[in-house]
Structure 1
Amino acid sequence: MHIKWHCHSIALLKRTVKFFKTSTTREELTVYEKFKFINLWFVLILINDILFVVGSIFKILLEKKHAESSSGNYDICALMLGCGCLFAYIGAIRYIGFFKTFNILTKVLKNAFPDMMRFLLTTILLFWGFLFCGWAVLGPYHIKFRHISTASECLFSLLNGDEMFTTFSATVTENTAVWYFSRFYLYIFTGLFIYAVLNLFVAVILDSYEKFKKNDLEPTSLQTFINECEILDPTRYQRDVRKNLGEAWSFLCESFDCLRKWYTRKSINSRFEFHNSVFDNDNSEETIL
């Protein structure tokens, strides 16, 4: 059912994109507006079901000794079932979001998602610059910068204010230039990311929250088009609903009428057959007598 729904959504998306491209008075749809045609909740539920089914089958094969009982296979099975549980509980947020007092988190994150992605793109480039610089310069002298992975983990803990003194004191070198560079590098990174990047990231989310709270969200071109259609014909939706209900009611009446005629005809035929059988029995008895 989810696959069929997504096929219809993609077909509608193609027609809408074509309409906006051919229209001279409207702007083309953005990537964020195109994603509105795809319900990501259904995608999440589909992935969740696949993980549960595959993980359960794999678990049964391991229990029945039809697959090798190695730690790697058990890890794969646990990974599938664990991710399935995680996605299942995330999907439960969708049903809580139907209540206006409980959908603040999903609404705010949904509205702030484009700005968050643009902000994170710039932040990731800046983070990578500090990462490769620290790995190249401090790698031979600092245990946390020996590898790219450990250097990334160290910088991520620093921007959250964790293990600062340990990181500063773990530089082992007699080179004064490297020692001063490590101090300058760590001070610049922690100051920039803690006081600027994190606060600006929170400000981006708070801006979306304030707009959501005041109901002052800027409508997209797709929402503007839908609002214009409702303004031109505000009763169109009601008329369509009444028309569909009328067609459904007519279909039910016709079906009931056909069923009633069939039942009446069948009852008449059964009575006729019963009378014929009784008449045949009487004739046979008279013949015997």
Structure 2
Amino acid sequence: MKQVIDTLRANRDQALAEMIELVRIPSISPGLPHPEAITEAADWLERRLERSGMDEVRQLVVDKHNPVVWARKHISDDLPTVLFYGHYDVMPADPIDEWASPPFEPEVREGKVFGRGTADDKGQVMMHINAVEAYLKIKGTLPVNVIFAIEGEEEEGSEGLEQLLDSHRDLLAADVAVISDSPFFASDCPSVCYGLRGIAAAEIRVEGPATDLHSGNYGGAIANPVEFLARILNDLKDRDGRITIDGFYDDVLELSPSEREGFASLPLDE
């Protein structure tokens, strides 16, 4: 591995220049203000993956959704397959006037690249491409089969991704998926994120009198919907922050001793 890491370090300037080139493309997906930029970013990644040594590279499209740039390097049927997922689309950069430098004209300041998409998610995407390319260059092969799936609608909720998975299962089947879209715990604490909290949403509607009522005449006698809503929300958790809904934790796995030990070792402060 030392040779691979040395190669990556030797090519750092080139890798940085390539990432800046990709970040310059304003591939904003919400509202699609620059549809040509989505095409440009997808084409750019397709060419870059072709140069990295992949066996197959193409763009997968379902309906009118933004393309997913797909690539595969197959080494052996006897090896597991790792899928690297990421996205090339970015959020709008508003408010523009709060940026210290133009969001799509990346700048390097104090060893950091500032530009829309550097951390979400073009930088991580390029990290994995460069790592796989360097390993192939030095070793001539890989210890696993590799698939890249880099989508263009993550910032809009990945609306076409489920349909793509259903229609291209053979191209996306893998033993492990590595998601290139989670942060380190801290800038100096390399991290592997293997789970995130989910989301459960509900709409609560509390009805009250159809017209305004004078508080002096009716206060206390007529139920106040705001008060009842506050009680409902207050009862969702106890004082320790645990959710009080029956059965909520039935399918939640307990942390293992090693996980608790790992969390306890993180550099937390007050």
TM-score bracket, normalised by the shorter chain, equals under 0.3
Give the TM-score taking structure 2 as reference length: 0.25
In our comparison, the structure showing a higher alpha carbon Rg is 1
Higher percent of residues as helix: 1
Which protein, 1 or 2, shows the higher relative CO under an 8 Å CA cutoff with sep ≥ 6? 2
